[in-house]
Chain A
Amino acid sequence: MNLSMSSVESLVAQIHGLSSNIGELTQLRNYLKQCDDLLRTESTRLAPLLTELDPSVHSLGYLYILEACTSAPISKDQANKLVLSVARFINVCAAEQIRLAPEKFISICKRLMLQVMLLEDPMRGVAPLLTSIRKLQSSTEQLTTLHPDFMLLCLLSKCYKIGLSVLEDDIFEVDLPRDLFLYCYYGGMICIGQKQFRKALELLHNVVTAPMPIISAIAVEAYKKYILVSLIHLGQFATSFPKYTSSAAQRNLKNFSQSYLELVNSYSTGKVSEVEKCVEIYKDTFGSDNNLGLVKQVVSSMYKRNIQRLTQTYLTLSLQDIANTVQLNSPKEAEMHVLQMIQEGDIYATINQKDGMVRFLEDPEQYKTCEMIERLDFSIQRIMRLSKKLTTMNEVMSCDPSYLGKVGKERQRFDYDDFYTVPSKFTI
């Protein structure tokens, strides 16, 4: 069936005509939905139509046509053109319009990502996807399906800082749980790459403790990294799950991470030789999980932690003694470690090379500066906002009919204060 020029013309005319305000746009959307099959069958011939439309004004129409165009399988040389055209569209499109057809928008972004990966140039996709996320989100608190893809591209192209900037936003709304898991997992990896272990721990914790009816492979991998990051950042790992963890996770996660739990045990002995022995035994498992780098960091964090413990007991200590206690090979090595820790801000100390002594100092922070006051104030404001959010959420839930229905069933039939029976079902 040939698409006659007239129907194409009418399509373009409709798009031109109905793109001014939201009422017309909804109408346009319904019309376009009906034309969807038509568009799909004529996908190869739609390219010239795009030239007649202005993507920034007629975003919705342009979107539908573009999506239909790109739905056909494409050869490698055409891929470049596709990437360029989609990227251009994303940059100029109007956010309110594309939000009316999110599935279409998501699908062209995914195609962009696919092509970028096939071209083996992930960096080209980073900026477009960032823009697309910002346009698709109804608020910065919402997680879209594009978030994990974006994170993956950042990881593959090593653009960690951009990834971090997106991670700064707090997420409270989620479309699909799977998106959240992937997002937190990739996000955790980016934070590890940037040595922001606190944030990584937070993200991985969210994956591990999220409500899960059945366990997913993402959670298993996240748990392994969670153990390692916890050892590096906190120096310990609590093997008991918090109460709110799903029962599926509590039962099964530990079975998949036996070698990691062994590592935790050897770490808690406080002896570097034990940890290194354990790493040797399980080297293959760690390697196949791509966690060898992290494991090496765990070992080096052991030295740090032992030296930190010394600061609690000693005021001055000779380098020789440090080397002996922490099981380093020579005072020179001890000096190197202490120097590095001072530079990174992990301890406060001065090294006296003449005597071969290290003098440990107290944390010079006096909590008296303006910056500290500002920081406290900022924290207070933030927590007040969060509390308000919590209260609103509580109120909304208390009015939710399904919640009330369920609670009503479980209440006692007679309330002792009044003599009316408590209704078990609310008919609204």
Chain B
Amino acid sequence: MEAEDDAAGAIIGDEEIYANVRDETDSQRHRPIISGEQLDVEAYAALYTGRTKTTRLLFIADKCGAPSMELEALRMAYDEIKKGENTQLFREVVGKINGRLGPNYALDDAWADAVDRRAELKKDKLENELNAYRTNLIKESIRMGYNDFGDFYYAHGQLGEAFKNYVRTRDYCTTSKHIIHMCLNAILLSIEMGQFTHVTSYVGKAEQTADGLDPVTIAKLRCAAGLSHLEGKKYKLAARKFLEVGPELGNNYTEVISPQDVATYGSLCALASFDRSELKSKVIDNTNFRNFLELVPEIRELINDFHTSHYASCLEYLGNLKTNLLLDIHLHDHVETLYEQIRSKALIQYTLPFVSVDLNMMANAFNTSVTGLEKELEALITNDQIQARIDSHNKILYARHADQRNGTFQRVLQTGNEFDRELRAMLLRANLIKHDYNLKAARKH
């Protein structure tokens, strides 16, 4: 940790200037967790709590490809699981460690068995209690009973059972607070299980409860909605949701998402899907979101670069961030697509204001070769995203605006022909049907 301190020393200096702007009360180091350097696993994991911490650590261990980081992640996962009661996950992690971390991190059967026995006992106890409550038909107790069951199963890693139990409390909810509690639990479970359709429906349900929605809950619900849109590849909607998350979120939802994530996901989705004016109004001028952006200064820089048309540096930042973003469980599948979309947007935006563009200069601006650039532009033109034509001989891109008048004439003539053809075919078919019908009628008589 100390060695990494020095490397990040320069960035800490900047952060201290901005530290006064935030009025967070936590004493966490203001180090950028998501940055271009190699991911600091410990600091990253410190952002999360609960099961998601373990899941993320395991994901990093799987995907990172560097044995030192992998072992670090596995070590932390082991420690984390030992604090909980999930023996199945424990065995999994031990299998992955495979003895590489020494005797302290081997399969502790004794601990596992003890936990399992305790779990059995607790389960029986809960079941008895629940049955008692059910016979007594006290709504509140039954609800709490099912909730406890849900918590129990969740702690032991049986997500499906936990989800079922949480959902069963629905019939016994009396106040809106109960409903919101149920919805939040269901959302958490659905995210863990990766079933994002449920997330959307429960977010909707929670938002519909008339009262009892304090700002923190609203922020949480928006994050969840954003996540489900992200998984559904609806980047524009995801961006909008993430950008609406208020600063009250703070560290209240660390069992799902950290504020750094909100900033990262929101910005990347916005860059990939918003047009220029929306980008300015919703991201750059958004005072609420600025709090989040402070946590990830590199992303803030790259958004500003994009807006001010410094595409080379923007794309450079993106390239640097890529390895670390690939280690994030929610973003992993979408990094490529988002990057492609951002790059296309940059190319399109570059060519928009010009009548003619010298491809050599453009290649310099994007730090790529002329032939590569030509190929990319050809793809964009074929998809009708840029209205231009390439002069391959002189390597110039000419903007081409469709002649409205000619286009209209062409369309008119074409529509006329089509109408003519369709109408004649229809009259012919009608005649055939009439003939057929007459034949049948004649046969009947």
**Is B117 at the interface (CB under 8 A from chain A)?**
no
Are A376 and B413 CB-contacts (below 8 A) given A313-B378, A316-B391, A316-B392?
Answer: yes
Residue of A nearest to B403 (CB): A362
| Interface residue B431 (Cβ < 8 Å from any Cβ of A) | yes
Residue-wise, chain B 414-445 has the 8 Å CB interface mask toward A (1 for contact) of 00110111011111111111011100010000
- Given A206-B425, A318-B393: A383 and B420 within 8 A (CB)? yes
| Docked-complex contact A174 and B382, CB < 8 angstroms | no
A386-B381 in contact given A206-B428, A357-B393 (Cβ < 8 Å):
no
CB distance from B334 to the nearest CB of A (A): 28
Bound: A205/B420 CA distance, A: 14
B429: chain A residues within 8 A (beta carbon): 209-211, 244
Contacts of B421 in A (CB 8 A): 202
- Per-position contact with B for A368-398: 1 when CB-CB < 8 Å, else 0? 0000100110011011001101100100000
**How far is B392's CA from A321's CA once the two chains are assembled, in angstroms?**
9
A256 on interface, CB distance cutoff 8 Å: no
B382 and A172: CB pair below 8 A? no
CB distance from A358 to the nearest CB of B (A): 9
Q: Which of A202-229 contact B (CB under 8 A)?
A: 202, 205-206, 209-211, 213
**Identity of the chain B residue whose Cβ is nearest the Cβ of A213 in the assembled complex:** B436
Question: Which positions 307-353 of chain A face chain B at CB distance < 8 Å?
Answer: 309, 312-318, 321
- Are A389 and B427 neighbours in the complex by a CB distance under 8 Å? yes
Contact of B425 among A209, A316, A360 (CB under 8 A): A209
Q: Closest CB of chain B to A329's CB: distance in Å?
A: 20
Which chain A residue has the least Cβ–Cβ distance from B436?
A211
Question: Among the listed A170, A210, A309, A372, which residue makes an inter-chain contact with B432, where contact means beta carbons less than 8 Å apart?
Answer: A210
Asked if B431 and A367 sit within 8 Å, CB to CB, the answer is no
Give the size category of B's interface with A: 35 or more
CB of B409 closer than 8 Å to a CB of A: yes
Q: Closest CB-CB distance, A346 to chain B, in whole Å?
A: 16
Interface-central residue, A313, A376, A387, A390, by most chain B CB under 10 Å: A313
Residues in A with CB closer than 8 Å to B398 are 315
Would you call A355 an interface residue if the criterion is a C-beta within 8 Å of the partner chain's C-beta atoms? yes
Residue from A172, A315, A363 having most chain B Cβ neighbours under 10 A = A315
Distance (whole angstroms) from the CB of A185 to the closest CB of chain B:
15
Known: A312-B382, A313-B378, A315-B389. A367 touches B428 (CB 8 A): no
Q: Is B394 an interface residue (CB 8 A)?
A: yes
Min CB distance B242 to A, Å, is 36
Task: Provide the bound-state CA to CA distance between A363 and B403, in Å.
Answer: 11
Task: Note all chain A residues with C-beta closer than 8 A to B391.
Answer: 314-316
Asked if B390 is at the interface of the complex by the 8 Å CB criterion, the answer is yes
Say whether B406 faces chain A, with CB atoms less than 8 Å apart. Answer: yes
Residues of B within 8 A of A355 (CB): 393
In the assembled complex, the Cα of A9 lies from the Cα of B412 at a distance in Å of 67
Cβ of B427 to closest chain A Cβ, rounded Å: 5
Q: How far is the CA of A10 from the CA of B350 in the complex (A)?
A: 98
The size bracket of the interface on A is 35 or more
User: Does chain B have a CB within 8 A of A6?
Assistant: no
What is the chain B residue whose CB lies nearest that of A378?
Answer: B416
> Does B419 lie within 8 Å of A383, measured CB to CB?
yes
In contact, B382 and A309 (Cβ under 8 angstroms): yes
Chain A residues 164-187 with CB under 8 Å of chain B are 170-177, 180
| A402 at the B interface (CB under 8 A) | yes
Q: A174-B428, A205-B425, A211-B432 are in contact. Are A379 and B420 (CB under 8 A)?
A: yes
Closest chain A residue, CB of each to CB of B380: A313
A289 at the interface (CB under 8 A from B): no
Taking the closest CB of chain B, its distance from the CB of A245, in whole angstroms, is 10
The answer to whether A366 has its CB under 8 Å from any CB of chain B is yes
Residues of A near B420 (CB, < 8 A) are 379, 382-383, 386
Chain A CB within 8 A of B125 CB: no
Closest beta carbon of chain A to B376's beta carbon, Å: 12
Among A314, A376, A386, contact of B423 (Cβ-Cβ < 8 Å) = A386
Say how far B398's CB is from chain A's closest CB, in angstroms: 6
The answer to whether A379 and B436 have CB atoms under 8 Å apart is no
Set A206, A209, A367: member contacting B409, Cβ < 8 A: A367
Contact in complex: A316, B393 (CB < 8 Å): yes
Q: Are A174 and B413 in contact (CB under 8 A)?
A: no
Q: Is the CB of A365 closer than 8 A to any CB of chain B?
A: yes
Name the A residues within 8 Å of B389 (CB-CB).
312-315, 360
The residues of B that contact A318 with a CB separation of less than 8 Å are 392-393
Cβ of B441 and Cβ of A177 under 8 Å apart? no
Residues of B close to A211: CB separation below 8 A? 429, 432-433, 436
Q: Is B83 an interface residue (CB 8 A)?
A: no
Q: How far is the CB of A348 from chain B (nearest CB, A)?
A: 13
Q: Which among B412, B419, B427 is the interface contact of A172 at CB below 8 angstroms?
A: B427
B422 to chain A, nearest CB (A): 9
Nearest chain B CB to A41 CB, angstrom units: 31
Shortest A140–chain B CB gap in Å is 13
A149 to chain B: closest CB distance in Å? 20
CB distance from B440 to the nearest CB of A (A): 10
Given the complex of chains A and B, what is the CA–CA distance between A210 and B429 in angstroms? Answer: 6
Which residues of chain A are near B406, meaning CB under 8 Å? Answer: 363, 365-367
A177 touches B405 (CB 8 A): no
Quick check: A313 and B381 within 8 Å, CB to CB?
Answer: yes
Distance, CA A380 to CA B437, complexed state (A): 33
A393 contacts B430, C-beta separation under 8 Å: yes
Take A202-B421, A211-B432 as given contacts and tell me if A367 and B405 are in contact as well, using a CB distance cutoff of 8 Å.
Answer: yes
| A386 in contact with B392 (CB, 8 Å) | no
CB-based nearest B residue for A175: B435
Those of A85-115 within 8 Å (CB) of chain B: none
Q: Is the CB of B436 within 8 A of A316?
A: no
B434 to chain A, nearest CB (A): 8
Task: Name the distance in Å between B389's Cβ and chain A's nearest Cβ.
Answer: 4
Contacts A318-B393, A321-B392, A383-B416 given: A393-B433 contact, CB under 8 Å?
A: no
Ranked 3 nearest A-B pairs via Cβ: A367-B409, A316-B393, A315-B389
30 A-B interface contacts by CB (under 8 A) = A170-B424, A173-B431, A174-B428, A174-B431, A174-B435, A175-B435, A176-B435, A177-B436, A202-B425, A205-B425, A209-B425, A209-B429, A211-B432, A244-B426, A312-B389, A313-B382, A314-B390, A314-B392, A315-B389, A315-B392, A316-B391, A360-B389, A363-B406, A365-B406, A379-B416, A386-B423, A389-B427, A390-B427, A393-B427, A402-B441
Extra A-B contacts (18), CB below 8 Å, given A382-B420, A386-B420: A171-B428, A173-B431, A177-B435, A180-B432, A206-B425, A210-B432, A211-B436, A312-B382, A313-B382, A314-B392, A318-B392, A355-B393, A360-B389, A363-B406, A365-B406, A372-B409, A376-B413, A380-B416
